[in-house]
Structure 1
């Protein structure tokens, strides 16, 4: 069985952003594999951030309706909800690791879901936060086998 993977917002955004075709293809592959293998997790925070970015910040923004439909599709993945306990854990990680609160909330959600890896372009690749390690799936040195194992 493969490790549980947590997808950061940027992975989802690249899947729907045609301005970087190589990253889009890689992100779409990760999403497809995650759905097929049932080992991929996101959080309510990731979905919210995704909505804002794809409707405002990408070269060819989606309409709010299109983004809502994508969110409905993405809800097939396991989605970690945000609650007080998760917020408190994020504050602890933020204080301990000196990273942004929002990144700490991602890490907290990944921990809660039992993920061993966070796939992200924004967090420090190779960095471990407790039992969760960050990998950048867009690094040329990383292959599909590396990010799935």
Structure 2
């Protein structure tokens, strides 16, 4: 089954592997498992993968060992079920414009610009407040009702 391509934001990926918040972990793990099980394809930016590595090894309450995080990152990079996207020089200009227009954090603007350049207009994220400001983005928060 081929769904509309959506991007998985860093916070969803972190919850999928961080077991601190049990319900968030379960929901996000199940969402990400759909990609690993080839039920759907998700996009992920190299920015998201890099942020994930830093957060999961340093910033969560119970960081996972660096070797485990490296293995997860390598699996994501190597697995064709994830559509990896990246930004370019032009994306940076677009991100600055999005940052100014919508008054959101630059890194969120860079992610939105990267998505737009790759024809991806849907994002799974907990960060509704920033991404909902961008009219052309469909923001899906799978953990909103917890």
Paired residue for 2:95, among 69, 90, 93?
A: 90
Does 2:40 correspond to 1:30? no
Aligned residues: 141
3-state DSSP of counterpart to 2:101:
helix
Deviates more, 1:77-86 or 1:12-21: 77-86
Partner residue in 2 for 1:44: 46
CA contact under 8 A between 2:96 and 2:109: conserved in structure 1?
yes
Does 2:18 correspond to 1:13? no
- TM value normalised by structure 1: 0.85
CA contact under 8 A between 1:103 and 1:123: conserved in structure 2?
no
User: Structure 1's 27 and 59: CA in aligned 2 closer, same or farther, altered over 3 A?
Assistant: same
Partner residue in 2 for 1:144: none
Structure 2 residues not aligned, in runs of 5+: none
Note the C-alpha offset of 1:124.
Answer: 2.2
User: Structure 1's 124 and 90: CA in aligned 2 closer, same or farther, altered over 3 A?
Assistant: same
**What RMSD, in angstroms, separates the aligned Cα atoms of the two structures?**
1.9
Structure 1 residues not aligned, in runs of 5+: 142-149
Partner residue in 1 for 2:85: 80
* CA distance, structure 2, for counterparts of residue 126 and residue 10 of structure 1: 13
3-state DSSP of counterpart to 1:134:
strand
* CA distance, structure 1, for counterparts of residue 5 and residue 133 of structure 2: 15
CA contact under 8 A between 2:8 and 2:125: conserved in structure 1?
yes
- TM value normalised by structure 2: 0.86
